[in-house]
Every structure is written in structure tokens, then in C-alpha cells.
Amino acid sequence: MNILKKLIAVVVLAPVIALASDAGHPLDRAPDRSSDLTALQNGARLFVNYCLNCHSASLVRYNRLRDIGLSDAQIRDNLLFTSDKVGDLMKSNLSVTDAKAWFGAAPPDLSVIIRAKSSGEGSGADYVYTYLRTYYVDEGRATGWNNLAYPNVGMPHVLWELQGVRKAKFADEKDPHDASKTVHKFAGFEQVKAGKMTSQEYDTAIADLVGYMAWMSEPVKNKRQQVGVWVLLFMSLLVLLAWRLNASYWREVK
């Protein structure tokens, strides 16, 4: 029943979430990792190490990771916390009460975040890929961080050690629609402190993480598409046979 309620909530709230978080910042296209098992496995490792501390993925069980080439032993040795079991749901140990006290709201479940963030402006993968790469320091925020894709975001930059610390540069320009007004336009990042990864390495890691989250949103997608191709081929053959049978039948009718 809880799973059904979450699915209903996603269907009902997804358009609202997408519109509420749309800041107008252009989205970068997320690389496709759907068929790269190594990338998906690396994404799963990043997800468990950096996301699962606060966010749950309660519609997915750890043993589902067998589908991306991991054995139960690999899952147990590399991805499970002490008290977890391979058949458990991927839940965070952070309580809702503590989350609201620390962040102002409970972190959302990430089981289907990629699908929930899809909109007319781009795919959910594009949004999350851009979001995780556009954090910058902002002393005016309680967490010390802000984000171009989601201004005034409540979530701190949990991957800052990998990416490093950056400042965002803005420039005032005339509004192209009203010359009497000015707009605050993003003009690039300034690296303040280097991270453990280079810019290219970080982008690759985020692409792997987003690829895993996209897979997690619909683990059977690749299988469904493969089955769909065979179904279409079968239907095409059936139509051909029906067409020839129809022609043969009416040929005898005078």
C-alpha cells in the first residue's frame, strides 16, 4: 500500500515538481549510460556513498542491482551498510524529524526522481545532470551553497570534495525585452579550491551517477524496449499474412 501511495504521488505531483524547480537555466544533455554496466556500477557506488545518507530509494531493493552485473557478494561487500541485507529496500537511516530540523524539509525519495523531473524543457536526466554540476558557494545561504538549476536550494553540495569549491560570476545586462530594466545573468564559474577530481573526471562521475538514477527509475526499460522491437516485428509479419490471406480469400469470390 505504501508503494502504491508513492507511485500515485509521483504521477500527481511530477508536473508540479518540474514547474516549481524550473529556474530557466539551460540544461546540459546528460550522456547516455543505459547500456554501460561499468558506468552504472560506478553510479550505484556513488549513490550509496553520497546520496543514500539522506535520500532513500525505497522502491528499489539492493538485489535489483544484479541486473547491472553485480553479484550478491559484491553488493554485500561494497554497497551495504552494517545492518542491511541484500534483499532490503534502499532506505536512508535519516529520520524525517531530523531532516526537517536540519534542512527545513524531508529529502525526497530518489527512486523515480529522473522521471519526476522530466518536463518540456528537457529530460529528468538532463535536469539532474545539470543540477549536480552547477553548485556554487553563497555566503547568504544557511548551508553556504546555492545552485543555478535550483536557486535557493535547501540541499548542500554533498559532492564538493570531488568537484571543489566554486564561485558563480554574474553580470548585469539590459533586458532584451525592456531596455529600462537590467537582468542578472550568469557569466561563468571561478574555481576557488580544487577538488579530488578534475572537471572532466567530475562530469564523468556525475554522468555515471545520473545514469544509475535513470536506470533505477525504470530498471526494466532496456528489456521493455527489446521486447517492444520483437512485438513490432511480429505484428508486421501478422499484418503481412493477414493482407495476403485477405487477397487470397477475395480472389475466389466472384
pLDDT (tens digit, 9 = 90+) per residue, 28-64?
999 999 999 999 999 999 999 999 989 999 999 999 9
pLDDT > 70 fraction of the chain, expressed in percent and rounded:
89
- Can you give the pLDDT at residue 120? 64
**Direct distance between the N- and C-terminal alpha carbons of the chain, in angstroms, rounded to an integer:** 62
Residues 65-76: what's their mean pLDDT?
95
CB-neighbour burial class of residue 106 (10 A; exposed 0-12, middle 13-18, buried 19+):
middle
Cell numbers linked to 22? 524550473
How far apart are alpha carbons 55 and 106 in whole angstroms? 9
- Can you give the pLDDT at residue 154? 87
The yes-or-no verdict on residue 254 having pLDDT over 50 is yes
pLDDT (tens digit, 9 = 90+) per residue, 198-241?
999 999 999 999 999 999 998 887 778 778 888 999 999 999 99
- Residue 184 DSSP one-character state: E
* Pairing relationship of beta strands 135-137 and 57-61 according to DSSP bridges: unpaired
Residue type, 57: A
The yes-or-no verdict on residue 168 having pLDDT over 90 is yes
* Total-model pTM: 0.78
- Can you give the pLDDT at residue 21? 41
CB-neighbour burial class of residue 5 (10 A; exposed 0-12, middle 13-18, buried 19+):
exposed
**Pairwise pLDDT comparison (153 vs 118), residue with the higher score:** 153
Asked if residues 60 and 111 have their Cβ atoms less than 8 Å apart, the reply is: yes
Looking at every residue in the chain, the average pLDDT score rounds to 85
The yes-or-no verdict on residue 78 having pLDDT over 50 is yes
How far apart are alpha carbons 204 and 197 in whole angstroms? 10
How far apart are alpha carbons 121 and 109 in whole angstroms? 22
Residues 137-144: what's their mean pLDDT?
93
- Could you tell me where the DSSP H helices lie in the chain? 2-20, 37-46, 72-78, 96-103, 113-116, 124-131, 160-163, 199-217, 221-251
- Residues, the chain, total? 254
